[in-house]
Amino acid sequence: MAPTYRAGIIGCGSIAHAHIMGYQPLENVQVVAIADPVREALDEFGDRYEIEKRYEDARQMLDAEQLDIVSVCTWHKLHAPLTIAACARRPKAVLCEKPMATCLGECDDMMIAARRNKVKLAIAHQRRFNAAWNEARELILSGAIGQPLHIVAKGGQGLLNDCSHYFDMMRYVMGNPQVEWVMGNIERKTDRYERDVPIEDRSAGIIQFDNGAQGLLLQELGERNYPGRTFHGQGGFLYGSDGVLEFDEQQVRLLSGKSGKWEERIVQGEDASIGQARELVDWIEDKVEHRGSAENGRAAIEIIMSIYESARRHEVVNAPLGTHASPIQLMIDAGDLPPERPGHYDIRAFLLRGETMRPDEV
């Protein structure tokens, strides 16, 4: 009989639902325990999914439950400390939410903790399991648009949050090329935060990949959707030497140089969270390497931090990035980004519960 893996979830907010909905259809995974310091969140989630073991302290859960799989579903700043805490208890795998961490140094600490405890660490860039993204990937890698030249995406909510998916997307659909250099800039005229991490008001980045393609990411610059197009979730535009590909989470449009015509495909598949969870189990059983492995999660953070570093140093930043702190935080601390319109605000403060207005009050 196949073993049953005991899973636990740290952080019972919005994305935790996607994790449990990924595990539930799998016969050999059972979510046995959850942790969240907010009693209301813990009980709401526990009641809904009928989970009895509930902990207000994640470390108590990790010590008591001998988990095989740990999902880290807290805000970004807690990804590194709680992943490291989970790894220290030696589960078989940890699935940590994106963005992997708030700087490159934290990513490296997480990977060291995983390695020294022999834990498989994956980052939840779950769109790697989306059917339309995979269709786009197959078309690109099979040469349907020739040599990829430019890949363009438009995001918001700061580079770290929303855009970590877009940088991961650029690499994934092109077969995970390495980055050669990055050039970027940011504007921060207000004291803007996203889930308690300082972010810029607007930004842009150019990424040179080692497959010859250049990526362009625009964050809060112009409309996210292109005129005349209905978008279903995240996606991008890829211009090749012999065609063009547009894709989002439901559809792929291909303009082939050979046919000279647009071809449209609506692509559907299973929920990406299920594919992500299933591949985690397969990775535990050494059948495959998880496509969202920590190396790929780290690569997205390295691009983001390289854009910030390019803005900080006013230069092209060659890979690998040597700066392990967060360059946007360094700029703020050095007084290089004084908000012209002062006053801290967090674009995700609405997620907090009760009277809490800052996460450190939790």
Which residues are near ligand NAD by CB under 6 A?
10-15, 35-38, 41, 58, 73-76, 78, 97-98, 124, 126, 161, 195, 351, 362
317-318, strands of its sheet edge to edge: 262-266, 251-256, 243-247, 236-240, 148-155, 214-219, 202-209, 179-187, 317-318
Q: How far is the CB of 325 from ligand NAD (least distance, A)?
A: 19
Amino acid at 280: L
CB of 246 to ligand NAD, least distance (A): 21
What DSSP line would sit under 320-335, residue for residue? SP---S-HHHHHHHTT
Indicate the helix (H) or strand (E) that contains 191. strand 190-194
Nearer to ligand NAD, 74 or 306 (CB): 74
Cβ closest to ligand NAD, residue 278 vs residue 312: 278
Our CB check for ligand NAD shows the closer of 78 and 305 to be 78
Minimum CB distance to ligand NAD, residue 18 (Å): 7
Looking up tokens 């589960």 gives: 91
Give dist(CA 122, CA 278) in Å, integer.
12
Shortest reach from residue 99's CB to ligand NAD, in Å: 6
Residue 296, CA distances (Å) to 145, 167, 172 in order: 24, 10, 9
Residue among 58 and 163 whose Cβ is closer to ligand NAD: 58
CA angle 26/267/303 to nearest 5° reads 80
For residues 20 and 83, is the Cβ–Cβ distance under 8 A? no
CB of residue 261 to ligand NAD, shortest distance in Å: 34
Q: Which residue has the tokens 């046919």?
A: 259
Which residue lies nearer to ligand NAD by CB, 214 or 234?
A: 234
Q: Closest approach of Cβ 149 to ligand NAD, in Å?
A: 28
Closest to ligand NAD by CB, 73 vs 300, is 73
12/119 with CB nearer ligand NAD: 12
Closest CA to 71 of 212, 224, 280: 280
Rounded Cα distance, 55 and 164, in Å: 30
d(CA 311, CA 19): 35
Separation in Å, CA 16 to CA 13, 35, 42, 327:
6, 11, 11, 30
Nearest-CB residue for ligand NAD? 13
The structure tokens listed for 181 are 């250099």
Min dist. Cβ of residue 308 to ligand NAD (A): 18
CA distance 349 to 253: 37
In the bound complex, what is the minimum distance in angstroms from residue 74's beta carbon to ligand NAD? 4
CB 127 within 8 A of CB 169: yes
Kindly state the smallest distance separating residue 338's Cβ from ligand NAD, in Å. 27
Of residues 71 and 256, the one with the C-beta less far from ligand NAD: 71
Residue 165 or residue 312: which is nearer to ligand NAD going by CB? 165
